[in-house]
Amino acid sequence: MIWLIVAIAVQAGLTLYQFDIKGAFLCAPIDREIYLKLPPGYTPPPGKTARLRKSLYCLKQAPSVFHGLFETWLLKYGFKQIGGDRVTFLYREGTSVILLSIYVDDGIAACNNKELYQLFLTDLGKDFKLSDQGPVSWYLGVSVKQDLANKCTTLSQEQYVKDVLEVD
């Protein structure tokens, strides 16, 4: 769905932006009781155990728990899921739109109103630590060059190919 957002942005003349949720898997409360095996040398007080209260990166449930938290936030904000896909959302306010997709903790958004997008990021930043990375230039290993005037966006994996082939 992420590359579909890029295609829609090209057709509709939307600017592509990117953001990153910092410590995404660490901010989501877990939805079940999980107890830890304590490291060697540490003896808990009698009758005490180590129970997780928030998710950790090493938990197999971490991506799902974070996504549920993020999805709930977006829906409360007014986004609607689109296309039967749990990672793609649409927000409308008058003639302004934000089309958003998230992959793990990396977000990409296509928008026709920079002020609306900045307001969204400000509100999102109240509940999640995030990094606004501005207009998209590199996303999931793909170089992205957007030319709004000519309705053209170029995607390239040239650097990835060079890295794989170890070419300078």
Chain centroid to CA 3: how far?
A: 14
Q: In whole angstroms, what is the distance from residue 119 CA to residue 105 CA?
A: 19
Task: Pick the range with the lowest mean pLDDT from 24-28, 63-67, 128-132.
Answer: 24-28
Q: Is the pLDDT of residue 25 over 70?
A: no
Q: How confident is the model at residue 98 (pLDDT cuts 50, 70, 90)?
A: very high
Strand order in the sheet with 96-103: 80-81, 88-93, 96-103, 106-111, 15-21, 130-135
The residue to which tokens 């896909």 are assigned = 85
Taking only the tens place, the pLDDT of each residue in 30-66 is 666 777 777 788 877 787 777 766 655 556 666 777 7
pLDDT at 155 (0 to 100): 87
Taking only the tens place, the pLDDT of each residue in 145-163 is 999 888 888 888 888 888 8
Q: How confident is the model at residue 27 (pLDDT cuts 50, 70, 90)?
A: low
What the block records as the tokens of 146 is 């957007």
Counts for the chain of helices (H) and strands (E), in that order: 4, 11
